[in-house]
A and B are shown apart, each in its own frame.
Chain A
Amino acid sequence: MHEFSLATSLVDLVLKHCPQDEELESITVEAGPMRGIDPQAMQWAWQAATDNTAITGSKVELIQQPWKLHCPDCHTDFVANDMFTNCSCGCQKTNPIDSDTLRLVRLTLKEPATLCT
Chain B
Amino acid sequence: MDIPIIENVLKLNDEVASINRKTLKDAGVYTVDLIGSPGSGKTSLLEATFKAIGDKVRIGVLVGDLTTARDATRIAKWCPDVVQINTGKGCHLDANQVRQGLDRLKLDELDILIIENVGNLICPVGFDLGQDAKVGLFSIAEGDDKAAKHPYIVQEAQILLLNKMDLLPHVTFDLELFKEDVARINPKVSLQQVSATQGLIAPWCDWLLSHIAQDCTV
Contacts and interface: CB of A to CB of B under 8 A. Distances in A.
Given A72-B187, A95-B184, A96-B151, A105 B122 contact: no
Contacts of B1: 22, 108-109, 111, 113
A41 B12 CA distance: 22
A100 B91 contact: no
Nearest to A22: B1
A22 B2 CA distance: 12
A72 B184 CA distance: 10
Interface in B11-34: 11-13
Contact of B122 (A2, A102, A104, A109): A2
Contacts of A113: 1
A31 B152 CA distance: 13
B122 A107 contact: no
Nearest to A29: B9
A94 interface: yes
- Chain B interface residue bracket vs A: 20 to 34
Contacts of B152: 34-36, 100
Nearest to B92: A5
Interface string B106-125: 00000000000000001100
A5 B6 contact: no
B3 interface: yes
Interface in B160-214: 183-187
B53 interface: no
**Interface centre among A5, A29, A102, A107, by most B CB within 10 Å?**
A5
B122 A36 contact: yes
Given A83-B148, A96-B151, A107-B3, 11 more contacts: A6-B126, A9-B9, A13-B9, A13-B12, A35-B152, A83-B151, A83-B185, A102-B126, A104-B7, A104-B8, A109-B3
11 contacts: A5-B91, A5-B127, A19-B3, A83-B185, A96-B151, A96-B185, A100-B152, A103-B6, A104-B9, A105-B6, A109-B3
Interface of B: 1-13, 89-92, 94, 122-123, 126-127, 148, 151-152, 155, 183-187
